[in-house]
Amino acid sequence: MRAGRRWSTVALACSALVLSGCTSAGLGDADPGADDAEPWPDRPVVDLRFEVAPDLATVAGREVVEFTPDLDTCELVFRSWPNKPATSRAGSSLTVSDVRVDGRDADFLVIAAGAPEGAPAGTLVEVPLADCVSAGQTVTAELTFDLVLGEEVNERVGTSSDAEVAWFATAFPLLAWERGRGWERGPAVPVIGETAVSEDFLLDSMEVVAPSGYEVLGTGAADGAEDQQDGTTVHRFTAPAVRDVAVAVGELDVAERTIDGVRVRVGLDQRVGEADTEAWLDQVEESNGELVDLLGPFPYDDLWVVVLSAQTSGIEFPGAIQFGDVDPDDRRGLVTHELAHMWFYGLVGNDQGEHPWLDESFATFAQTVADGDEQPFAHLAAEDSPPVGGSMAYWAAEFRRPNSAYYDTVYTLGGAALVEARQQVGEEAFDAALADYVAVNAHSIATPDDVREAFADLPEVLEVLREVGALS
């Protein structure tokens, strides 16, 4: 570590871009060649059904997943992320009531794994298999579960009686498999941030059954809606490769626009007052255009955006975003940041519990460069700062106020380091290496070793990342 190195470089780098009139070559102009990754051919095939109660307070769910592991296994492991501390303490929960494997009833074990004391269920569901499964052998699991949506939750799972809207994301038993590694069982922690890890899966069908007359925003392509005699409507969605799903149901003001070939739907609940749908679509279009110039084509054919009066910030999911009631023009950085996650965690995945910097630092980097942010951004001394590469468990264990330490380090310092590294080696060289990283690791779960490999010919980049503790 070089003595005296201080990280106040993001503002300088961005100012240079703006004042010089320079533009990045961008990943979209690069030629990744034959290394372009494709979705895992044997990725899980998932069918979901969510039946939303008339009062929008609970959801009855069913999941069928066809899973073909690439390693031998004698069990299945799912994560129930609504039971993590932030959502559970706000009144939300996910409870698995029944599991069947290959058509037969199966025993299962629910483990707290970080769920707070007194929570109705744990975050980890383990299903021992009657017969072990060899690599390449398909097993089919069916899980029945129930969701409780907490009132006015400033998180990814909740409901608002006043706004007449419900929202739920990462709200089903999420298969916790990592190719080449096996099951991920890391505990949930009391830090605001994502801790999930998931391979891409084929969303063969997602059915959302909701009271007729309500708008429904989902994930992937809308595949039609059918009214039922009981006063409900079945809304169907499909997606070729996603890691997660998000849904919003309720009295929403919805507008649609095609942006750079992507179908974008924005829905605002009836208590949202900072901006209308057109203002949101305008900012999404502006931010996305800058990101596409930097990172290449948007990874999904559809983007669903819901703006919720109960929320204050933004939470990303593959092809979907939840925003709080903010002015998108004033909070342009927030919009750009969450859109950047479509590439970093959506397209290029990572273990968000073990290596959160791989999506948050890269998303902050992309946000900063795309927005040409000239404001002072990072004034942290690397030698006095915690390591950017710390896990979520590290932030929870080491700090009395883990949320601020996590944000200042992983977002701010990590993003600043990447901008500094780009400035040191030049935009063209950095962006070409970044293009290689994205192309090679698309549709997979990246690790710090993949960053080392992508930037191996640019030792200055790796040195900067080592200085801030990203590559420890």
Please give the annotated binding residues for Zn(2+), written as ranges: 337, 341, 360
Q: Rounded to whole angstroms, how far apart are CA atoms 170 and 172?
A: 6
Residue with tokens 């073909």: 68
Beta bridge partners of 232: 211
Which segments are annotated as binding site? Answer: 337, 341, 360
Beta bridge partners of 76: 127
Residue 100's nearest CA partner among 132, 76, 117, 83 is: 76
- 269 φ, ψ (degrees, to nearest 5): -75, 165
Helix (H), strand (E) at residue 380:
strand 380-381
Query: Concatenated DSSP letters for 399-464?
Result: -SSHHHHHIIIIIIIHHHHHHHHHHHH-HHHHHHHHHHHHHHHTTEEE-HHHHHHHTTT-HHHHHH
Please give the angle made by the CA atoms of 463, 465 and 467, to the nearest 5 degrees.
70
Please give the angle made by the CA atoms of 388, 393 and 395, to the nearest 5 degrees.
50
Residue 140's nearest CA partner among 40, 47, 243, 219 is: 47
- Contact residues for 385 (Cβ-Cβ < 8 A; gap 6+): 408, 409, 413, 468, 469
Q: Fill in the amino acid letter for 40.
A: W
Helix (H), strand (E) at residue 334:
helix 332-340
Q: Rounded to whole angstroms, how far apart are CA atoms 22 and 6?
A: 25
**Helix/strand/coil (H, E, C) string of 107-122?**
CCEEECCCCCCCCCCC
Residue 42's nearest CA partner among 173, 143, 138, 127 is: 138
Residue 111's nearest CA partner among 127, 129, 126 is: 126
Helix (H), strand (E) at residue 280:
helix 277-295
- Spatial contact of 135 and 69, defined as CB atoms under 8 Å apart: yes
